[in-house]
Amino acid sequence: MTSETEKTTLRIAVAQLNPTVGDVAGNLAKARAARADAATQGADLLLLTELFISGYPPEDLVLKPAFLKACRRAIDDLATDTADGGPGVIIGFPRQDETGRYNAVAVLDAGKVIAVRDKVDLPNYGEFDEKRVFDQGAMPGPVNFRGVRLGIPICEDIWGELGVCETLAESGAEILLSPNGSPYYRGKVDIRHQVVLKQVIETGLPLLYANQLGGQDELVFDGASFAFNADKTLAFQMSQFEETIALTTWKRQGGGWVCDSGPMSRIPEREEADYRACLLGFRDYVNKNGFKNVVLGLSGGIDSAICAAIAVDALGEERVRCVMLPYRYTSEDSLKDAADCAKALGCRYDIVPIEAPVTGFLSALSETFEGTEEGITEENLQSRTRGTILMAISNKFGSMVVTTGNKSEMSVGYATLYGDMNGGFNPIKDLYKMQVYALSRWRNQYVPPGALGPTGEVIPHNIIDKAPSAELRPNQTDQDSLPPYPVLDDILECLVELEMGTEEIVARGHDAATVHRIEHLLYIAEYKRRQSAPGVKITRKNFGRDRRYPITNRFRDRG
């Protein structure tokens, strides 16, 4: 029998699971089930993700002593389980002692907590603000687990420049195991690979990257766990957007460790990845918050159509209710397109005309508005009537209202407060208009894994082909008041994602007056965005967590 000091094989089960923030008992149950699964696969060690026991990110929950105590009790209970001789466990949890409060991992084996390591590099940018709630951990050393010296850098410890991985290598680590809570944005898998390769090259050690799965408010954690061997080859690649536990086998070769076996899953391309992120984020928001079903206004336009498709794919047709809310300016095309879309998706479809309530509002306001010209105020009354009806259905039947505005519209304020902005969650909040079209075309050709919706064309081609319109006045189109969406989206990406100056944007070929107008609209719509529903983060800079501009703001770039 080989002694632990001569151990030549280490079987690590990597668990990319979907914890729920605050559900300590539920997350503990998930960890226990994962350990049982790992045991049946013959694993020596189960690797779970960052702050798994609390869910990630727990934000200000970790300021509550009762919450921290519950997390610690769960860790101790799980440690007791390891007395059975089965797999050891590495699991993330928030911990507190007399020196501070830390983002930590516990290593559990032989019935006890054999080691604790704290996160050193606390991210404080974009969606992260860990310095608000955690203290910086001490530079870690490796943990001796059954004769193998494991380095355990936690998430940002491999991204930053503090030298955590280098310190672990210099102090004798043989393998680096990194538990992560890394949210999705477009192209993130390639970026993670580059980050890990940099550490592999600098340390000469293999690095296993385990990432959380699931939606948490606006963030989507996409899994896609992987490892690189010391020779810079991809050792294994787990699936993206799928909850799974994979066994990886590591062997000692020539004085180092090599991942000898593990899964090699396909990573989705751009449109598929974005769609699946929207799907996962929406499904988890609805289910984790306890909504039994959802309702949305189906206008016959592209935005509400793709939201309906995402809702049916996420929840199933029986949990989705679509409502057409026609007024005198609603075209026959829109009535037909909405009905065809609902029929293709198989969900409930109701028609609630708004002529009578709009007329009632106008009548009630006739004396107040006497002597004024009809305009945007009257158009917004239509939208607000629709919003009120959808909220009434929500209140009566307990359905969450899905709001359907895209990022292009929300950028320039092309949305009505207390109208089409009403709702609990927006699956396309971080998709520009042209991206909405691209994802709609993709969904008509493919059904993503795990989707509950039908195959075939679920968004009628006429919805994709026709000019977009809010239909709030006769013959209205969006381009009456906005540049063509390809132009608008490019300007907005330059302003929002890239923080480019207006001179740089004009140099790309855009009209200067248009660029300045869009910048102005972007700034003055900030107050609306502050009141908008949460929605899935898809781009590198979404509104809310990533981009925090003042509402009161007189700066304009006239350079």
User: How many Cβ atoms from other residues are within 10 Å of residue 150's Cβ?
Assistant: 26
Structure tokens that stand for 342 in this block: 């609902």
Find out whether 182 is annotated in a ligand binding site. yes
Find out whether 281 is annotated in a ligand binding site. no
Find out whether 4 is annotated in a ligand binding site. no
User: Do residues 420 and 401 make contact, with C-beta atoms less than 8 angstroms apart?
Assistant: no
User: Do residues 517 and 163 make contact, with C-beta atoms less than 8 angstroms apart?
Assistant: no
Find out whether 329 is annotated in a ligand binding site. no
Find out whether 380 is annotated in a ligand binding site. yes
Start-to-end CA distance of the chain, whole Å, equals 75
Question: What is the rounded CA–CA span in Å between residue 369 and residue 373?
Answer: 8
Find out whether 366 is annotated in a ligand binding site. no
Find out whether 407 is annotated in a ligand binding site. no
- C-alpha distances (whole Å) from 8 to each of 46, 55, 65, 230, 320 are 18, 34, 43, 17, 54
Q: Which of 30, 71, 130, 155 is catalytic?
A: 155
Give 331: exposed, middle or buried? Use CB within 10 Å, 0-12, 13-18, 19+: middle
Question: What is the rounded CA–CA span in Å between residue 68 and residue 483?
Answer: 52
Find out whether 304 is annotated in a ligand binding site. yes
Q: Which of 30, 71, 119, 494 is catalytic?
A: 119
Cis, peptide link before residue 57, omega less than 30° from 0:
yes
- C-alpha distances (whole Å) from 237 to each of 190, 232, 312 are 12, 14, 29
Q: Report which of 206, 65, 222, 221 is spatially closest to residue 148, judged by C-alpha positions.
A: 206
Q: Is residue 50 flagged as an active site residue?
A: yes
Find out whether 363 is annotated in a ligand binding site. no
Q: Is 237 helix (H, G, I), strand (E, B) or coil?
A: strand
Find out whether 141 is annotated in a ligand binding site. no
The DSSP call for residue 16 is E
Residue 47 backbone phi and psi in degrees, to 5: -105, 115
Find out whether 12 is annotated in a ligand binding site. no
Question: What is the rounded CA–CA span in Å between residue 57 and residue 262?
Answer: 28
Question: What is the rounded CA–CA span in Å between residue 531 and residue 509?
Answer: 34
Q: Report which of 557, 559, 528, 558 is spatially closest to residue 544, judged by C-alpha positions.
A: 528
Find out whether 3 is annotated in a ligand binding site. no
Q: Report which of 51, 131, 35, 154 is spatially closest to residue 93, judged by C-alpha positions.
A: 51
Place of tokens 């990886």: 248
User: Do residues 357 and 389 make contact, with C-beta atoms less than 8 angstroms apart?
Assistant: yes
Residues paired with 208 in a beta bridge: 177, 227
Residues paired with 296 in a beta bridge: 322
Q: Report which of 380, 214, 452, 409 is spatially closest to residue 304, judged by C-alpha positions.
A: 409
Q: Report which of 191, 150, 157 is spatially closest to residue 171, judged by C-alpha positions.
A: 150
Find out whether 383 is annotated in a ligand binding site. no
Q: Is residue 292 flagged as an active site residue?
A: no
Q: Which of 30, 50, 71, 493 is catalytic?
A: 50
Structure tokens that stand for 397 in this block: 């039947």
| HEC profile of 473-541 | CCCCCHHHCCCCHHHHHHHHHHHHCCCCCHHHHHHCCCCHHHHHHHHHHHHHCHHHHHCCCCECCCCCC
User: Do residues 50 and 212 make contact, with C-beta atoms less than 8 angstroms apart?
Assistant: yes
Structure tokens that stand for 409 in this block: 């519209």
Q: Is 552 helix (H, G, I), strand (E, B) or coil?
A: coil
Binding-site residues for L-glutamine, in ranges, read 125, 182, 188
Catalytic residue annotation:
50, 119, 155
Binding residue positions for ATP: 297-304, 404
In the annotated binding site for deamido-NAD(+), the residues are 380, 409, 528
Known binding residues are: 125, 182, 188, 297-304, 380, 404, 409, 528
